[in-house]
Chain A
Amino acid sequence: MSNLALSIQALHKSVELNQQTIEILSNISLSIAEGDSVAIVGSSGSGKSTLLGLMAGLDNTTSGAVTLMGNNLTEMSEDQRAKVRAEHVGFVFQSFQLLPNLSAAENVMLPMEVLNQKNAQNRAAAMLERVGLSHRLTHYPNQLSGGEQQRVALARAFVTQPDILFADEPTGNLDTKTGNHIADLLFELNKEVNTTLILVTHDEHLAKRCQCTIRLEAGALVTAS
């Protein structure tokens, strides 16, 4: 039995809207072992992205506990959670989220700079070469196609060799062919680095490539397989 990368206990999340309390997630408990790949699926509005945000410590729970790589996120301050993210977490987003004012290489260097790691430049170049963008180092995001931007994002996510990677609809903004390429690359890298992968998607094909699937419906866990 390997160690737990993530465990969630009795998680609730609700928001106040027009003096009404709306329950977004209710009583969710799950645990994910290190090295696992897990897909979170569900229809729009089922609470997938909210769950992802809570698991990554981007948001506060209403009640319950989230433990990420042995750190109890619910007891931590914003800046402490940021430290955990810097040390353990990588992200890939649907809308790529590259900084428009940094070149491809500089975008990839960013997480290493946050961690004050050495050799950032060379490692970024190597990583970009790995994703097939060695000729695009100095290009800015608006000079890259969608698929290329997502490859830069993958390079950025994996360059620090994170323990756990959160991917939010990584192929959602891409056409099927490009999306497949990106998905292939994502799983290849995941294998190489041996990262725990948590993937939010409504694409069943993509979900099937993960070891297990968690299904959300109206904020509640329906099945975990």
Chain B
Amino acid sequence: MTLPTLLRLALKLLFREWRSGSLTVMATALLIAITSHTTIGFFTERLSNAMEAKATHLLGADLVIKSPSAMDSTLLENYVDEQIAERANSNTPNLNIASTVEFTTVAIAGDELKLSSVKAVSNNYPLKGFMRTSLTLFGEEITTTDSPPAGELWVEHRVLSSLNIDVGDTVDIGDSSLKVSRVLTFEPDRSGAFYALAPRILMNLNDLPKAGIVQQGSRVDYRYLVEGSPANIKAYRDWIKPQLTPSQSVLDIHNERPAVSSSLVRAESYMKLAGLVAILLAAVAIAMSARLYAESHYDTSALIRCLGGRQNDVLFIFILQLAILAFFSGVIGSLLGWVSQSFIAFLIKDMLPESFPQASLTSAWTGLALSFIVLFGFSLPTLIRLRQVSPLRVLRKNLEPNSLSGAIIYLATFIFISLLIFAYTQDIKLTTASLIGGATIALFGFIIVALLFMLLNKLNQRFPLIIKSGIRNLIRRKNETRWQTLAFGITMMAMTLVVIIRSDLIDTWQSQLPEDIPNHFVMNILPGDVNAFEEFLADNNITSSDLYPVSRGRLTHINGVAVKASVTKEENGNEALNRELNLTEAKVMQKDNRLVQGEWWPNNVASSKATPAPTSPKVSIEARLAKKLNINLNDELTFFIGSRHLKANVSSIRTVKWDSFKPNFYMVFEPGSLNSYPTTNLTSFYLPEQNRNVLNAMLRQFPAITLLEVGAILEQIKSILSQVTLAVEIVLSFVLFAGFAVTFAALQSTLSQRLHEGALMRTLGASKRQIRINQWVEYAMMGSLSGLIAISGTEVVLWALYTQVFHLEFNANPLMIILLPLIGASVIGLFGVFTSRKVLNESPTLVLRDV
């Protein structure tokens, strides 16, 4: 047969097939898979673009180069110039560069002095994001993207209170006098905010030479902020990175702001996991309905062969049909995916930034490819049997084609599943683990099903008469019903797991950001002010975290070797080495820290305030830093605090939750270690927005303190998490739909047999009521058995996850043990009776004649 003929025939048959509804389950399952894939693809792409945009706002640019000295202009402007020259026809520069110079100096107003952190910025600062300023102290905040004009200063409120001046007064910075024109309340790129003790003064870069402060050898932090399209930024990063000296570094959003990115990464991997489950379930549904489809086309295949069609003609007709189905499902699924992600974006538009970038078409292409892969991968192994149908079947109806060896079908399916899991997780270990886990569950599931059926057979004598015959039906058909039960069970298990993991994930987020999470940090509380400060908090009904004594110090030696010499070159640029660290001491470890190695010092001196200084102090170090600097237990660390050295031995290594918004420390010393060193205190507290004027009083009473507001960042993170939660829930619904598709596909697989039996029963005089009761009993029993399978599988997987992966305590969930079999019984009962309604409605003569 020629190609056009085959195509025409395939189309004709497909069209009728579609109208008769025999493709519905397969096409629906495929649509669910593709819609789920593309929704997740489109949405996560947009979300991560938007998140990156937001994060760049926090960074003030797409990319920042940090350098201790002014950088050669060839590394900056020249690159931009070259780019412009290369693209002579486009006269817009593709990279914008702003620069800032940061240093610490004394600001003077009259007789008052204040050590301040000055940042001189170019006119185009900030490139991304915005600042907030007010015209009076604690006045109304105005969002701005301007920067201070020449001759003016924008200062933090602490500068005003410490220098005892107001907006409009003049402050001397080095040799120049500049006018304070605004109060600075928020600047985008203040990433080291928690450690910046000196208050901020923002000035114009053009005023810097006049001030005459920055000279050769001054400790100055130069930052170059770069903005451009993602491709240009990437090109620039790749170009500049090899040219940087060890003391220069590139910052981008991936090494800043871990709190946002780790939550997003978790949400994204959850969505991908849920998406994978949806696709795998859909694939199972496709495989099941493909088998049914193949079986119902043995006659067609035999007849075409009988009329002289070749084996490959027959196969080709069905492959064409699959290809057409895959193409349309891929296109429609991608469209639905586009619509549903737009819908998600619409639902949560209040939480999204004003310009929520559109997604590229990448997900549509992968969706189309996935459509072909899933459909062919899971239906071809069974459809290939159509090629083997003997033409003799036209004369002898009972001739079944020689099955392709079962091993080959299972192997092919197994390979496709492995490839799918790998494509989604990009992780060989995870793929292997889930394959072995899945196979084990399937094997044990089958054994349990077999045992349950045996048990049911034994017990059936004791059941009441009315349900006996339904259960007998179930057992009599056990070759099919055992598989169905297992399929329902595993489907229910997958759905339950996805639901439980979702709840755990959202709980984690919510517990991470409770309503009263500290939104203010206070540092520099002088030891003499501690009691007064605590009283002030109590008077204003503010609950704070513990007060931590803090000394500022630098890590200088590891086991007597100078740090700079003992660490690798790359680590020479490590933040922890290049700046002073906040060193603290504590009796007990912070609750969310976790010991990795060593032991915490015994907490035997329960409440005595003054702990004597230990002769050989111990220190606990944060795990990531320890690994980077290659510090091990019992190493001797030397710190330089003020003008003196402190030696301490590493007694433990612990992990820290940096995203907890509580005070966190790299180094925690044994109590008493810092007794003879200058310390100030640090704490954090929650203050509702409407009580902000308390801060005014606080600053007046304790002018020395450093107050940091992190409410804006918190709000941002909260809004991100609620967006992500909603997205997660929508993805979850795909898993549920896919689960239903599997259920329908499985139920349909025995439908024709049931139709025939039902017709016979009715011919022999069974009432509709009797048949309906039998159906309910049979399906509900099958559903509750699969609920049992699901609950045992779920508990085993959760146990493994909690004890082996997360190292948490595992508690069995007794409610689910009752709930799942009940849900199984009602859902499978309902679906089963619904799909089998034809058994009751179709005329028996019609059914019997058909066979």
Per-residue B-contact encoding for A94-125, CB less than 8 Å = 1, 0 else:
01010111100010001101111000000000
CB–CB B304/A110 < 8 A = yes
**A79-94 interface with B by 8 A CB criterion:** 79, 82-87, 89, 91, 93
CB–CB A86/B307 < 8 A = yes
Q: Within 8 Å CB of A83, what residues of B?
A: 308, 310
CB–CB B394/A114 < 8 A = no
Using CB atoms, name the residue of chain A closest to B1: A114
A78 to B391, CA, bound (A): 9
Per-residue B-contact encoding for A130-141, CB less than 8 Å = 1, 0 else:
000000000010
A119 to B700, CA, bound (A): 100
For the complex, is A58 an interface residue (Cβ under 8 Å from B)? yes
Neighbour of A93 across the interface among B20, B312, B394, CB < 8 A: B394
A95 to B313, CA, bound (A): 24
Neighbour of A102 across the interface among B16, B309, B397, CB < 8 A: B16
Q: Beyond A97-B394, A168-B395, is A58–B306 a contact (Cβ under 8 Å)? A: yes
Q: Beyond A113-B1, A116-B5, is A58–B304 a contact (Cβ under 8 Å)? A: no
CB–CB A101/B17 < 8 A = yes
A99 to B306, CA, bound (A): 12
Neighbour of B390 across the interface among A56, A59, A97, A114, CB < 8 A: A59
CB–CB A53/B13 < 8 A = no
CB distance from B495 to the nearest CB of A (A): 35
CB–CB A49/B307 < 8 A = no
Using CB atoms, name the residue of chain B closest to A173: B849
For the complex, is B2 an interface residue (Cβ under 8 Å from A)? yes
Per-residue A-contact encoding for B374-408, CB less than 8 Å = 1, 0 else:
00000000000000001110111100000000000
Q: Within 8 Å CB of B396, what residues of A?
A: 49, 53
For the complex, is A28 an interface residue (Cβ under 8 Å from B)? no
Q: Beyond A52-B395, A53-B392, is A101–B20 a contact (Cβ under 8 Å)? A: yes
**B291-345 interface with A by 8 A CB criterion:** 299-300, 303-313
A89 to B20, CA, bound (A): 32
For the complex, is B499 an interface residue (Cβ under 8 Å from A)? no
CB–CB A79/B300 < 8 A = no
A87 to B299, CA, bound (A): 21
CB–CB A78/B394 < 8 A = no
**A23-57 interface with B by 8 A CB criterion:** 49, 52-53, 56
A119 to B127, CA, bound (A): 72
CB–CB B395/A49 < 8 A = yes
Using CB atoms, name the residue of chain A closest to B2: A116
CB distance from B106 to the nearest CB of A (A): 90
Q: Within 8 Å CB of A59, what residues of B?
A: 390, 392
CB–CB B300/A99 < 8 A = yes
A58 to B391, CA, bound (A): 6
CB–CB B307/A110 < 8 A = yes
CB distance from A180 to the nearest CB of B (A): 22
CB–CB A58/B394 < 8 A = yes
CB–CB A82/B308 < 8 A = yes
Using CB atoms, name the residue of chain B closest to A107: B303
A12 to B409, CA, bound (A): 36
Using CB atoms, name the residue of chain B closest to A146: B849
Neighbour of B310 across the interface among A49, A82, A110, A115, CB < 8 A: A82
A100 to B299, CA, bound (A): 10
Q: Beyond A101-B16, A113-B1, A114-B304, is A79–B395 a contact (Cβ under 8 Å)? A: no
Using CB atoms, name the residue of chain B closest to A87: B308
Per-residue B-contact encoding for A59-92, CB less than 8 Å = 1, 0 else:
1000000000000000000110011111101010
CB distance from A82 to the nearest CB of B (A): 5
CB–CB B299/A86 < 8 A = no
CB distance from A104 to the nearest CB of B (A): 13
CB–CB A97/B305 < 8 A = no
Give the interface SS of chain B, mostly helix, strand, loop or mixed.
helix
CB–CB A115/B306 < 8 A = no
Q: Within 8 Å CB of B450, what residues of A?
A: none
Number of interface residues of A (CB under 8 A): 32
Q: Within 8 Å CB of B12, what residues of A?
A: 101-102, 106
A52 to B392, CA, bound (A): 10
CB distance from B315 to the nearest CB of A (A): 12
A82 to B12, CA, bound (A): 23
CB distance from A173 to the nearest CB of B (A): 9
**B13-41 interface with A by 8 A CB criterion:** 13, 16-17, 20
For the complex, is B9 an interface residue (Cβ under 8 Å from A)? yes
Using CB atoms, name the residue of chain A closest to B314: A82
Q: Within 8 Å CB of B306, what residues of A?
A: 56, 58, 85, 91, 97
Q: Within 8 Å CB of A95, what residues of B?
A: 397
Q: Within 8 Å CB of A140, what residues of B?
A: 16
Q: Within 8 Å CB of B303, what residues of A?
A: 97, 99
CB–CB B307/A85 < 8 A = yes
Q: Within 8 Å CB of B392, what residues of A?
A: 53, 58-59
A154 to B226, CA, bound (A): 81
Q: Beyond A49-B395, A58-B390, A113-B5, is A97–B299 a contact (Cβ under 8 Å)? A: yes
Q: Within 8 Å CB of B9, what residues of A?
A: 110, 113
A197 to B673, CA, bound (A): 111
CB–CB B13/A101 < 8 A = yes
A100 to B5, CA, bound (A): 19
Q: Within 8 Å CB of B299, what residues of A?
A: 97
A52 to B397, CA, bound (A): 15
CB–CB B16/A91 < 8 A = no
Q: Max chain A CB contacts within 10 Å: which of B5, B308, B390? A: B308
Q: Beyond A102-B13, A113-B9, is A82–B391 a contact (Cβ under 8 Å)? A: yes
CB distance from A61 to the nearest CB of B (A): 12
A95 to B302, CA, bound (A): 14
Q: Beyond A97-B299, A101-B17, A116-B2, is A111–B307 a contact (Cβ under 8 Å)? A: yes
Using CB atoms, name the residue of chain A closest to B850: A142
A202 to B300, CA, bound (A): 27
A222 to B167, CA, bound (A): 124
Q: Within 8 Å CB of B20, what residues of A?
A: 101
A53 to B12, CA, bound (A): 29
A10 to B411, CA, bound (A): 45
Using CB atoms, name the residue of chain B closest to A59: B392
Q: Within 8 Å CB of A100, what residues of B?
A: 16
CB distance from A168 to the nearest CB of B (A): 6
A13 to B591, CA, bound (A): 84
CB distance from B441 to the nearest CB of A (A): 38
CB distance from A92 to the nearest CB of B (A): 11
CB–CB B17/A116 < 8 A = no
Q: Beyond A53-B392, A53-B395, A101-B13, is A82–B309 a contact (Cβ under 8 Å)? A: yes
A53 to B305, CA, bound (A): 13
Using CB atoms, name the residue of chain A closest to B5: A113
Q: Within 8 Å CB of B395, what residues of A?
A: 49, 52-53, 58, 93, 168
Per-residue A-contact encoding for B649-669, CB less than 8 Å = 1, 0 else:
000000000000000000000
Q: Within 8 Å CB of A91, what residues of B?
A: 306-307, 394
Q: Beyond A52-B395, A102-B13, is A85–B5 a contact (Cβ under 8 Å)? A: no
Q: Within 8 Å CB of A101, what residues of B?
A: 12-13, 16-17, 20, 300
Q: Within 8 Å CB of B16, what residues of A?
A: 100-102, 140
CB–CB B17/A86 < 8 A = no
CB–CB B300/A114 < 8 A = no
Q: Max chain A CB contacts within 10 Å: which of B13, B299, B311, B395? A: B395
The 5 closest A-B pairs by CB, nearest first: A86-B308, A101-B16, A85-B308, A58-B392, A79-B310
- A residues in contact (CB < 8 Å) with B: 49, 52-53, 56, 58-59, 78-79, 82-87, 89, 91, 93, 95, 97, 99-102, 106, 110-111, 113-116, 140, 168
Listed by A's residue number, 7 A-B pairs whose Cβ atoms lie within 8 Å are: A59-B392, A84-B308, A85-B391, A86-B307, A99-B303, A101-B16, A110-B304
**Known contacts A52-B395, A59-B392, then 15 further A-B pairs from the complex at CB < 8 Å, ordered by chain A residue:** A49-B395, A58-B391, A58-B394, A82-B305, A85-B307, A86-B309, A99-B13, A99-B303, A101-B12, A101-B13, A101-B16, A110-B9, A110-B304, A113-B9, A114-B308
